[in-house]
């Protein structure tokens, strides 16, 4: 029987150690992917979590359960629940315009998002501001007052995630 030399044993231990280290890094990386929490008003309390955004899905409360998916994001579209069916498209987002369903028709613009403000339909008029947002806080109308914070979020949201959360807070919450 051949026996391993001390150099071979040392090399085997080094390889095993390297594999274990890489495995731990991969596990930590995939288990700690960012989750954005949406909180009522100016709160950051666990009991005030409205929804959670994670992996292109918006979940009820602090859940990450499939059964608690409120809407899904795929590209520039927001879908009902966990669906990806054409008939379940809630909104399509293009160039800062949010359209009803799968439409891209001017008459189907629901909101226009520009410079930290959400406007009614295709407007950019101050009187048509529905909400404004800045630094993770979403305010009533054009306000930036602490007392007018509708909700806040813990991390960056893409425009698609912002629209999905706005839908959930406005219609589902």
* Domains: count for the chain: 2
Asked whether residue 160 falls in the same domain as residue 83, the answer is yes
- Mean pLDDT, rounded, of the chain: 89
Sign of dihedral through CA atoms 157, 132, 150, 107? negative
Asked whether residue 127 falls in the same domain as residue 159, the answer is yes
Q: Is residue 143 scored above 80 in pLDDT?
A: yes
For residue 3, what are the domain limits?
A: 1-32
Asked whether residue 21 falls in the same domain as residue 97, the answer is no
Sign of dihedral through CA atoms 60, 120, 91, 77? negative
Helix ranges (DSSP H) in the chain: 6-31, 159-167
Q: What's the pLDDT tens digit per position in 146-164?
A: 999 999 998 999 999 999 9
Residue 33: the pLDDT is 63
Q: What's the pLDDT tens digit per position in 117-129?
A: 999 999 999 999 9
Task: Check which CATH number belongs to the domain holding 121 and give it.
Answer: 2.40.160
Q: Please tell me the least confidently modeled range out of 26-30, 70-74, 153-157.
A: 26-30
């Amino acid at each position: 029987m051949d026996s391993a030399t001390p150099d071979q044993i040392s090399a085997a231990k080094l390889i095993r150690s390297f594999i274990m280290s890489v495995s731990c890094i991969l596990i930590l990386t995939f288990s700690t992917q960012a989750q954005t929490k949406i909180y009522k008003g100016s709160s950051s309390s666990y009991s005030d979590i409205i929804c959670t955004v994670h992996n292109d899905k918006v979940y009820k409360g602090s859940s990450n359960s499939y059964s608690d998916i409120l809407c899904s994001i795929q590209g520039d579209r927001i879908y009902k629940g966990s669906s990806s069916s054409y008939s379940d498209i809630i909104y399509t987002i293009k160039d800062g315009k949010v359209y009803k369903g799968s439409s891209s028709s001017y008459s189907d613009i629901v909101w226009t998002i520009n410079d930290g403000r959400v406007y009614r339909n295709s407007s950019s008029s101050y009187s048509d501001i529905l909400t404004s947002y800045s630094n993770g806080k979403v305010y009533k109308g054009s306000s930036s007052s602490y007392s007018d914070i509708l909700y806040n979020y813990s991390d960056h949201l893409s425009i698609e995630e912002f629209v999905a959360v706005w839908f959930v807070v406005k219609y589902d919450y």
